Structure 1
């Protein structure tokens, strides 16, 4: 046997073992520390990583089951279990970050002839006992597919590794990211921002979006992908729009504006605010947890706006695009994730780069990064 062939066989064997070993066998570093701040993110080939926010170093890595994609994450309120939408948008897993063990698994297809996907739309109840997910099922027949109505499925998070819904309700279509308020209300970002009673399935409009009525404003264009659990405990959705000078609705003289729709998850108070002119496109944004007059956005650059003045007041040039933004609870550090396999760290005041964390494995693609306290 040649050395080259032997090397190939050893490499193939290692890859096979890494794919089949239980996730706990591939865990690195100890359990998380109580009252300590961390960031969690996922990447290819199918890993979950925990970064220590105090030292800005990789703390541990966990291998995940099945396939990657999209890697959208939400943290349980106790800071112990990370829930991830994965396996090509078709399964949700709950991972104990102390042990890297999968403690919850919900395959969203409820029958063998069904293929069901969720488009980033899942959330955890404020007490951590229930998980909510909007599912988009399709029945597969030999000669055609039949699209089914969207549904809101409610799971008991203690149901284990073959969880089934304990309640289901009809859901609006085109729902993406979701968050829960402290009172248990589920907020969905779809054509409008909806407030949903998770016990009855009743749906109300919390913030008009597609159907807003703002004189001289064009309908907003909204991108909702990353369910960011903000340290300021709010649900923020960016929009772009045009504001016309008069009822002639002349696009040539219109002001092109960035803004956000916001739900205060503690009080349920809602707001819609413009914060600055369109100078570029942002994929995600976040309000500062220490100064609610500041909003940050990211894609090709990291930017900071004064909301009251509607002015761009800070810019950081980036090494490459980043999709997802997060902040520590003190509000002095910004974490940028998505695209490649590096998490960039910036000072929120000076907008200077503080460093980066290189993740084992491949790119993060459109994974969500979440900062949390254990």
Structure 2
């Protein structure tokens, strides 16, 4: 996808793999070189890379995770390396794209003004996340950017829920995180006059069949949520229109139609597969690389790449991901070499 965009933009840039299990001096020297133009960062280095960067976006600070390094000119012929988290934009922008499908005749902005009304006569506009790991934190923050509050969390482990709350204290100022433990909690918070109006769900758990009681209770609770009644709020919204069908973004996409995906669709939700979030975060990276800016506004600006490039990149990416891996791809994975093998990890600089 990244190389598709580079070619379509008419550049000579190339996206390639630096396979490493740790941050080394060799890698840091490359990041500071003229050859380096920007980078995605995957696990397990999303937190480990942070001390080595010159500057962090507020999103990276809030989530303690960096999945993108943007090379930003400083105006004196030099540059700084700025850490950003486009996983948040991947979730947010995939939801906005689905909302545009529902309201094709209405302008839906991409900038920070794209929010639902916080509270109306129909109740608070709320979001829900299923999970408890890093992607859960990204999703919770993305939903707050859309003006949704409170954020409900369905999770089997009280400790994981507490860890999410502790990691994101800023959410407490916006209505907080509420742990939905069972169907009784769903009735308490989401059913009846004046209760929160749930508009969006993001699923962040692997697509495995539940085995334990706690895992089954997660699925039972989600099923109770999916069956809550929904009437489109009558209070006019000056920015984001209310969804005609509530939105369910299922982050796992292998298989493409997970159990959660199928259940949500059966209950009439507008379901978005995780490939869309992956593509949207890639667009955000491309926009930042092209402009040399690591801001959320640049990452959300669809005019930078343009609709033709985005549509062709989406089409080709989805086609490739849904096809079986080629023998060449399988061989490349088998022969992948850790460039950090036998090397010492770089010591984080004192700041």
Q: Which structure: greater helix fraction? A: 2
Q: TM-score, normalised by structure 2?
A: 0.29
Q: Which has the higher contact order (CA 8 A, sep 6+)?
A: 2
Q: TM-score, normalised by structure 1?
A: 0.28
Q: Which structure: greater strand fraction? A: 1
